[in-house]
Amino acid sequence: MKYRLIVLLSLVFAATGLRAEIDVVDLVTRSIDQTRGLSSYAEMTMVVKRPTWERTSSLIGWTRGREDALIRFTAPARDAGNALLKQGEKMWTFNPKINRNIRLPNSMMSQSWAGSDFSYNDLSRSDKWLRHYELTLTNTEAEDGHEIYTIEAIPYEDAPVVWGKEEMVIRDDYVLIALTYYDQEMVPVKQMKSLEIGELGGRMMATRMRMLELEEPDQYTELVYQEIDFDVELEDRMFTVFALKSAR
Amino acid sequence: MSFKLVWQLSIRNILRHRRRNLMLFAAIAVAVTGVSSMNTLIRGMQYGMMDTAVENMTGHIKIHAPGYRDDPNIQKGFALDEDFEPPVPAEDMLGWAARIRIPAVIMSERETRGVQIVGVDPSAEAISFIGDVPIEGDGLESTDDGRILIGRELAIQLETEVGRRIVVITQGIDGRNREKGYRIVGTYDAEGTALEKMYVFTGLSSLQGLLDSEDVTEVSIRLVDEPKRLTFKQLLVGFFSELAVMDWLELEPMAAAMFIFADSVIYIWFALMMSALTFGLINTLITSVMERVKELGMVRALGMPKRMVLIQVVVESTIIMAVGVVIGLIGGYLVFLTIEDGINLGAFAEGMEMAGIASVLVPVLRWDDFILVAWLSLLLGILASLYPAWRAVKVQPLEAMRR
């Protein structure tokens, strides 16, 4: 009798333990924070591929917390100096040719950033958007000693989200493997895929990512991290509109 | 005695050359028919333009907060009492509506567009175009309806359809952005894609909830009689002392300019048609005077004063004109009856929409236009007869009889 109770109890514990292990909200939040840290400095290259041309540019970026970010182009010469500042929900762009900061209106947030397949929204993605979705774990599979979770995010009825659903594939070490946007007929429209995963700046992360427009096959943008440092010292003035313009 | 004589002489002179004068009647009649039926079309266009302007969310009189027109947003709103009624007698008012109308951005999976989001009480919107446009799907049900009604053209541009969700971004009462997902309840098919691309509708209370405000940005009033607008505007200015009260002419200056221009077009058109005709009339009258030189000399010799000769020619001309005008006006009325239901300009719809003209042109008959044509024609008839009459007066009895 006693033995049976123990078995029953251990079964209950096992079940709750399993559920706690896959707390989807926590999983997604951590995955978003994975490439951010308290602060970070990164060097990247971006390749924009189009059917008839291709462009490679270099960027450097700083982030602090979940709110602040600054990205600056360093090459090619034509684009060098173009920068983007994010402060919470607000964004500004800076163009050295006109020597002006331009505050991005919300209407532009879904537009393409610097001619790439990333929208400003993709860049400003933070854990805040989680409250607009119902998250469910739809699939778990093992691969190369990792658990890989597929999570479906379905926006609530009045959520400010145009997609029918978003599907995330996240590894158990919080590396985002893929993120697919579906329209409301559940046809996939856009997909971000991690092509290379490695250790950089002491963290496991996707070092090469590709954003694909699924409706236009020969068109994508790749972002490759050359270098990233986490928890670096950053001055407060770094994330100001003034710093954006003064190009430090 | 003498006027009766003049009258008889004139009539006889006209009857003497039946074929020639019939042609002249026909010419005048055709011109007058043209002018008067054209007038009904111009009036139709003019009133169509006014209706379009008024139904385009404007109404005959509209009340805004000062500054709203320069910077339309909910911060430039004003509060209305729960049981507010405009101080215009109910029998003079077709209806009134309180709305929020502010700029917004609308996004689908694939496209983003700038629009005006209008929070309405659907039961009050019989006064604007949205009250009677065909709708695919459903219309809004109540002021609490948290769904959205968009134009068909906008739905095409956004690559979306009824039942899908779209996202609207706009500015709340605190100046910060508000974002919300809306399900599309229906798409409306307005006259002209410009409207369809411009306005999206949702429930007023529901929009107030999103913006955290109890205010509205406009009250629009549609009157039974447009010309009475000035009286009621005065009344409303007194009632809403702190708000801006404007009529549609001020709110839609372009439509107003076209409206006023249409008044002049009527005269321009008249001048074009009738002046060509007048030369024909002068010519005929001169011919008829020259043919009668002998007679004129004779009557002068018999003692008819110069004044009478002059009057006789003038009367002759006036009679010709009057007969032509009467036939012409009847013709114009008949033309009006045949096109009363409107002319479909569907083929040129796009260009017409740009000018704010409806794609079905419904002529409007105004009797004062007919009377105006009649009077102006008779006046022209008299003017046209002056030169021939002067020629007739100049006839020397002696010379004339010796010919």
pLDDT in tens, B264-292: 888 888 888 888 888 888 988 898 888 88
- Dihedral of the alpha carbons of B186, B189, B195, B199, in degrees to the nearest 10: -10
Query: Domain boundary at B242, B269, B291, which?
Result: B242
Residue closest to A116 by CA, chosen among A221, A17, A14, A40: A221
Average pLDDT, integer, range B203-213: 92
Q: Is residue B249 part of a domain?
A: no
Least confident of A14-18, A45-49, B17-21: A14-18
DSSP-derived secondary structure letter, B87: S
Whether A162 and B179 lie within 8 Å, measured CB to CB = no
B287 and B398, same domain (yes or no): yes
| Residue A155 at interface with chain B, using a CB cutoff of 8 Å | yes
Residue of B173, B175, B167 lying closest to B210 (CA atoms): B173
Are B217 and B352 in a shared domain?
A: no
Report whether pLDDT(A138) > 50: yes
Crossing angle of the two packed helices B306-338 and B367-393, in degrees rounded to 10: 150
Across the range B64-84, mean pLDDT stands at 88
**Domain end: B183, B214, B242, which one?**
B242
B236, B295: one domain? no
Same domain, B195 and B268: no
> Minimal Cα distance from B147: which residue of A?
A158
Determine contact, residues B182/B148, Cβ cutoff 8 Å: yes
User: Would you state the pLDDT for residue B349?
Assistant: 61
Q: What is the dihedral of CA B373, B378, B383, B385, to 10 degrees?
A: 140
User: Which pLDDT does position A14 carry in this prediction?
Assistant: 45
Residues B290 and B344 occupy one common structural domain: yes
C-alpha closest to that of B241 among B71, B87, B96:
B87
Q: Rounded to whole angstroms, how far apart are CA atoms A134 and A25?
A: 9
Domain ranges of chain A: 23-246
Longest dimension (CA), chain B: 101
B177/A106 Cβ within 8 A: yes
How many domains, in total, are found in chain B? 2
Query: Are B106 and B134 contained in the same domain?
Result: yes
Residues B86 and B185 in one domain: yes
pLDDT of A1 higher than 60: no
Neighboring chain B residues of A181 at a CB cutoff of 8 Å: 109
**Arithmetic mean of pLDDT, A117-136:** 79
Mean pLDDT, residues A41-48:
92
Ramachandran assignment for A51, one of left (phi > 0), alpha (psi -120 to 50 degrees), beta (any other): alpha
Kindly provide the b/e burial profile for residues B301-328, where b requires at least 16 CB atoms within 10 angstroms of the residue's own CB. eeebeeebbbbbbbbbbbbbbebbbebb
For A119, the token pair is: 């929208």
Contact B105 A159 (CB under 8 A): no
- Residues of A with CB below 8 A from B107's CB? 110, 162
Residues B124 and B224 in one domain: yes
Using a CB-CB cut-off of 8 Å, the residues of chain A touching B179 are: 106, 160
Helix (H, G, I), strand (E, B) or coil at B106: strand
Q: Write out pLDDT tens, residues A139-185.
A: 898 888 888 999 999 999 888 888 899 999 998 888 889 999 999 98
Q: What is the pLDDT of residue B157?
A: 93
A16 touching B (Cβ < 8 Å): no
Smallest CA–CA distance, residue A11 to chain B, in Å, is 43
ipTM surpassing 0.90: no
Range of the domain at B341: 2-53+256-402
Q: How many Å apart are CA B334 and CA A49, to the nearest integer?
A: 69
Question: Which segment of B90-99, B233-242, B342-351 scores lowest on mean pLDDT?
Answer: B342-351
Select from B191, B218, B242 the last residue of a domain: B242
Evaluate if residue A12 carries a pLDDT over 60: no
- List Cβ neighbours of A3 (8 Å cut-off, separation of 6 or more): none
Q: Are residues B340 and B381 in the same domain?
A: yes
Q: State how far the Cα of B39 lies from the Cα of B60, in Å rounded to an integer.
A: 24
> Does B153 reside within a domain?
yes
- Tell whether B173 and B152 lie within a shared domain: yes
- Look at residue B347 in the predicted model and tell me its pLDDT: 65
Question: Are B108 and B215 in the same domain?
Answer: yes
Choose from B145, B161, B162, B165 for mutation: most chain A CBs within 10 A.
Answer: B165
**Do B207 and B276 reside in the same domain of the chain?**
no
pLDDT, position B12: 87
Residue B250 lies in a domain: no
The answer to whether residue B251 sits within a structural domain is no
Burial zone of A213 (CB within 10 Å; 0-12 exposed, 13-18 middle, 19+ buried): middle
pLDDT tens profile B303-332 = 888 888 888 888 888 998 999 999 999 999
A23-246 has CATH 2.50.20.10 classification: yes
